[in-house]
Amino acid sequence: MAAASSSTKFIFPPSISSSSPSSSSHRSRSKLLLAFLSPTAATASPLSLTLSRSRSHYGRAPRRSLIVTDALKSAESTETSASKSRSAGRGGAGSAEDGPTILVSEKLGEAGLEVLRGYGRLECLYDLSPEELCKKISSVDALIVRSGTKVTRQVFEAAKGRLKVVGRAGVGIDNVDLQAATEHGCLVVNAPTANTVAAAEHGIALLAAMARNVAQADASIKAGKWERSKYVGVSLVGKTLAVMGFGKVGSEVARRAKGLGMTVIAHDPYAPADRARAMGVELVSFDQAIATADFLSLHMPLTPTTSKIFNDNTFSKMKKGVRIVNVARGGVIDEDALVRALDSGIVAQAALDVFTKEPPPSDSKLVQHPNVTVTPHLGASTKEAQEGVAIEIAEAVVGALNGELAATAVNAPMVPPDVLSELAPYVVLAEKLGRLAVQLVAGGKGIQSVRVIYRSARDTDDLDTRLLRAMITKGIIEPISASFINLVNADYTAKQKGLRIVEERVSVDASPESPVDSIQVKICNVESKFASAVTESGEISIEGKVKDGIPRLTCVGSFGVDVSLEGNLLLCRQVDQPGMIGHVGNILGERNVNVSFMTVGRTVRRRQAIMAIGVDEEPNKETLQKIGEVPAIEEFVFLNL
């Protein structure tokens, strides 16, 4: 595969251009599912795309990916809908009362309500039951909620296509069914920045209150007691605070803790090291953070990776007498394990604003523990933050109703069906490569630079890589982040996390029928859990292709492999000698771990090789340890795809 030429472009971030208007014949035959028109394409009607979880047509397990299931389905004119959308925009004829109907189902700051009143017909109906919401929703164009309203699939179905945007006044969107929103053509936006300072201030307030037993002493005096000796506290100055999650809130907490005379370290796989250094904060690994800290302040998102990450095993690695503050998400802590750690003295005190279940049970052992200070999810509860969130979400909703592509969008926009149809298998490949690459990263330095190399026989202008780049970003960021990545917000989110994406196009002698011959992802300036994935230039490098419609991993570092990118993957670097496949296979078989495929790649005969093994189940710790004890195996890593 000889490269004829290459070009490099720096994407950080590009302007997001709208897709070209569809033809009139398409407009008359398309079904309105994803109606996101940009201002420069106001005359275009969107084409029908359904983005969903689906089984591969090759009969394999479900894939979490974007696929085209209905590119140009039944004839249904969208001229009326498009016309209404255009006339509803600012500058059109008519008053705000003639504009779109906006339903606010939970209390919102007055400043935000004023923005909405100036744009459309505002209705504030609080405490609606699910049945009442479903009955009302078919007559509104936009819905604004906080955390109490559940926007379920039933709500989107009841909207009958009229609901264009759901705004979540806050960060978390656990109460909105994103998949259903996408399928029904509804954009979902949130307000992720306005409550940053409020949450950080509450974290510091809990930190100080916990250290000085403020809540317990207050309750004691109100009970008629005077127990000065019982409530002797600890000083913050000179103590080490580990900030777990160095994003917007975490960095603000660190800034304030430095002002209190604390030594601050942080763990975050995406935090730029130079930004941390500028604040006098050292980035460290997760294990180093929990082993070093006198105080832990949690600011991690709740994802499958972080769910109950603070558990019996984690607590056993901490300093005896550590103190923990959590103003992030309750689910990152195993609450039963925290009670055990408090009882044993490993954790001296905890201050919690969030819980796995909210409100927590009144008889909760954790809430009632004498060494625990609790508040009812007050992190964003300041007048200033509430007004800021109200304005932020109101402006995002108005922008969405105007057809603008919002940077705070959390689900997918309209993509031309011909592009999505052609790129569908490569979309899966791109996300899987990103997901695989991030799992190979080790250490606390964080990912700052990624190179993506597309090898293609097509001309430079004949391949739109925005979607592929978005999916690589999605694969890298989503496994350990609360962010939801799509074509709209991929570059914005990458920039917010300090992630620089560089794309290169390399021309090759291959079939021009395929848009891409291969995709290579390189992560620069990081350590790797699997040294064989690192090239001579010091980059983690993986490469993949689509073969017969199936995304496959074709290269790890300098080793060629050929494995399907699905399920679980075990990579082993070994001495190239007979019997290795059978040896490892026997270990897995004895422990009832089914092998779905196996391949071996090597550089020089009888020297080193990489064995790639696909397994249906996740091997337990003992099984992995047994594989690692095989003398000829030099290193291995388990990856979940």
Centre a 10 Å sphere on the Cβ of residue 524 and count the other Cβ atoms it contains: 16
DSSP string, 81-121: HHHHHHHTSTTSSS-GGGS-EEEE-S---HHHHHHHHTTSE
Catalytic residue (one of 358, 384, 617, 618)? 358
- Residues paired with 55 in a beta bridge: 62
The pLDDT value given to residue 632: 86
Which burial class, exposed, middle or buried, applies to 121 when counting CB atoms under 10 A from its CB (0-12, 13-18, 19+)? middle
Could you tell me where in the chain the CATH 3.40.50.720 domains are found? Answer: 101-190+386-402, 195-374
Q: Can you tell me the mean pLDDT for 430-456?
A: 90
* 358 carries an active-site annotation: yes
How many whole angstroms from its chain centre is CA 553? 23
Could you tell me the pLDDT band of residue 184, with boundaries at 50, 70 and 90?
A: confident
Q: How many helices (H) and strands (E) does the chain have?
A: 20, 27
CB-based contact 343:366 (threshold 8 Å)? no
Most confident listed range (100-109, 188-197, 496-505):
100-109
Could you tell me the pLDDT band of residue 41, with boundaries at 50, 70 and 90?
A: very low
Tally of CA atoms within 13 A in the half-sphere of 410 that contains its CB: 26
User: Residue 257: phi, psi to the nearest 5?
Assistant: -65, -35
Percent of the chain with pLDDT over 70: 82
d(CA 528, CA 324): 30
Q: Is the pLDDT of residue 249 over 50?
A: yes
CB-based contact 407:488 (threshold 8 Å)? yes
d(CA 476, CA 446): 12
d(CA 319, CA 310): 14
Hey, is 330 helix, strand or coil?
Answer: helix
* 329 carries an active-site annotation: yes
Q: Is the pLDDT of residue 264 over 90?
A: yes
Q: Can you tell me the mean pLDDT for 289-303?
A: 94
Centre a 10 Å sphere on the Cβ of residue 95 and count the other Cβ atoms it contains: 8
How many whole angstroms from its chain centre is CA 9? 25
The pLDDT value given to residue 606: 63
The pLDDT value given to residue 443: 72
The pLDDT value given to residue 488: 65
Could you tell me where in the chain the CATH 3.30.70.260 domains are found? Answer: 558-640
Which burial class, exposed, middle or buried, applies to 16 when counting CB atoms under 10 A from its CB (0-12, 13-18, 19+)? middle
Name which of 409, 399, 403, 389 is nearest 145 in CA terms.
389
d(CA 485, CA 426): 17
Running DSSP on this structure, what letter comes out for residue 48?
P
d(CA 401, CA 31): 19
The pLDDT value given to residue 97: 66
CA distances from 15 to 48, 323, 501 (A): 24, 45, 14
Name which of 546, 561, 641, 559 is nearest 608 in CA terms.
559
Q: Can you tell me the mean pLDDT for 551-570?
A: 89
Q: Can you tell me the mean pLDDT for 106-113?
A: 94
Class of domain 415-553: alpha beta
Centre a 10 Å sphere on the Cβ of residue 280 and count the other Cβ atoms it contains: 11
Q: Is the pLDDT of residue 405 over 50?
A: yes
Q: Can you tell me the mean pLDDT for 138-167?
A: 94
d(CA 66, CA 561): 26
The pLDDT value given to residue 193: 85
Per the structure block, which two tokens stand in for 444?
A: 């606390």
Catalytic residue (one of 329, 435, 552, 573)? 329
Selected residue with higher pLDDT from 71 and 257:
257
Selected residue with higher pLDDT from 560 and 36:
560
Could you tell me the pLDDT band of residue 100, with boundaries at 50, 70 and 90?
A: very high
CA distances from 262 to 240, 387, 445, 581 (A): 6, 32, 21, 53
Name which of 152, 163, 151 is nearest 35 in CA terms.
163
Rounded to 5°, the CA angle 388-389-391 comes to 65
Could you tell me the pLDDT band of residue 599, with boundaries at 50, 70 and 90?
A: confident
Per the structure block, which two tokens stand in for 442?
A: 């080790």
Could you tell me the pLDDT band of residue 595, with boundaries at 50, 70 and 90?
A: confident
Task: Lowest mean pLDDT of 144-148, 385-389, 425-429, 464-468, name the range.
Answer: 464-468
Beta carbons within 8 Å of 594's beta carbon, 6+ residues apart: 588, 615, 616, 617
For the domain 101-190+386-402, what is the CATH code? 3.40.50.720
Selected residue with higher pLDDT from 407 and 35:
407
Which amino acid type is present at position 332?
V
Q: Is the pLDDT of residue 83 over 50?
A: no
d(CA 528, CA 532): 9
Q: Is the pLDDT of residue 329 over 50?
A: yes
Tally of CA atoms within 13 A in the half-sphere of 248 that contains its CB: 16
d(CA 542, CA 170): 37
Given 3.90.550.10, 3.40.50.720, 3.10.20.740, 3.30.300.130, which CATH number is that of 195-374?
3.40.50.720
Q: Is the pLDDT of residue 53 over 70?
A: no
Q: Can you tell me the mean pLDDT for 8-33?
A: 32
Catalytic residue (one of 86, 212, 256, 377)? 377
Could you tell me where in the chain the CATH 3.30.1330.90 domains are found? Answer: 415-553
The pLDDT value given to residue 412: 61
The pLDDT value given to residue 57: 30
Q: Is the pLDDT of residue 32 over 70?
A: no
- In 84-228, DSSP assigns E strands to 101-104, 121-124, 142-145, 165-168, 187-190
Q: Can you tell me the mean pLDDT for 213-229?
A: 96
The pLDDT value given to residue 320: 97
The pLDDT value given to residue 609: 85
Q: Is the pLDDT of residue 9 over 60?
A: no
Q: Is the pLDDT of residue 624 over 70?
A: yes
d(CA 238, CA 258): 10
Could you tell me the pLDDT band of residue 20, with boundaries at 50, 70 and 90?
A: very low
Selected residue with higher pLDDT from 67 and 149:
149
Q: Which fold has domain 558-640?
A: Alpha-Beta Plaits (3.30.70)
Task: Lowest mean pLDDT of 203-217, 411-425, 492-506, 607-621, name the range.
Answer: 411-425
Whether residue 359 has a cis bond before it, omega within 30° of 0: yes
